[in-house]
Amino acid sequence: MSSLPDLICPAGSLPALKAAIDNGADAVYLGFKNDTNARNFAGLNFDTKAMTEGIRYAHAREREVLLAINTFPQPGRVADWQRAVDAGVDLGADAIILADVGLLDYAVRRHPRQRLHLSVQGSATSYEAINFCQREFGIRRAVLPRVLTLAQVGLVIENTSVEIEVFGFGSLCVMNEGRCWLSSYACGESPNTVGACSPAKYVKWDKQPGTMETRLNGILIDRFADDEPAGYPTLCKGRFEVAGDTYYALEEPTSLNVLPILPDIVRIGVRAIKVEGRQRSPAYVAQVTRTLRAALDSLAGGPAGFHVKPAWEADLAKVSEGRQATLGAYNRPWR
């Protein structure tokens, strides 16, 4: 049995950071309150004062802080992203998570001692891509996109010395991890640079007799009966008419939950398990962190006695999309 992977939890605010640390996260990931951060939502993220306090809080409890500078620099503004890298180093971030190869090159040349991670936004799905980033930029860890089977994750791990981090709970993405072409087409803006695949300014709930319609920039995403909860209009999770049938053509509103395959994830040597949700509440962070911490700790003595407790499933179901869970790409029967 490999050593337990680190539990990496989201921090969209200082209260969320403290909730993660207090409930057993080994590290948190966060971003600046600007567009160097792919979750650049109003009311979320960290200015210098809050980040200083967050890093102090985590380090005092021997936990790590990972800074996500995971958007792509815009033309004429590369210096803004470079300054964010410099600021993260100065503030004492344990690692900086980057997607752009130009920023990776800047970071390794300017701050050769700083630990660098390859963001999921970098879309590295092969060990060749990961080994390239290790050779050229010295990355220590890569976050894999949520499109690989468990066997494919294992193949990557077998062929690289870079630490591998995978998603373990939260929303799924069937596109290029924050660079959704569907959303870009519908809204005219990249989710990577505006912080969401369904920006709130384009969202509309339209109540009709007997139904509730949800639209994104005028496009009908779903139609709910009065007795159905009307979900947020995310393009890939809408119901569409295809060949005369109406159903979730791309993806159902459901959350990734790896509890059933946790021993396998540990066995193949995954170094870190990441929880999605920097846009979610501190209560969400506390619940998911506490549950996954308990599940991981139960594996410390080996997989023989591991079983998924109903209480864990119930606690995670409370914060899952549609109160449903899936193994996503990790388990593809057609393979």
Annotated binding site for [4Fe-4S] cluster: 173, 180, 197, 236
Any alpha helices (H) in the chain, and if so which ranges? 14-22, 48-60, 78-91, 101-110, 127-137, 150-158, 181-187, 191-194, 262-267, 282-297, 310-317
Pairwise CA distance, residues 122 & 136, whole Å: 14
**How far is residue 295's CA from residue 291's CA, in Å, rounded to a whole number?**
6
Tokens of 72: 């792509």
**What are 309's two structure tokens?**
């407790």
Q: How many CB atoms sit inside 10 A of residue 98's CB?
A: 32
The binding site comprises 173, 180, 197, 236
Within 10 Å of residue 120's Cβ, how many Cβ atoms? 26
Owner of token pair 């695949």? 197
Q: How big is the chain, counted in residues?
A: 335
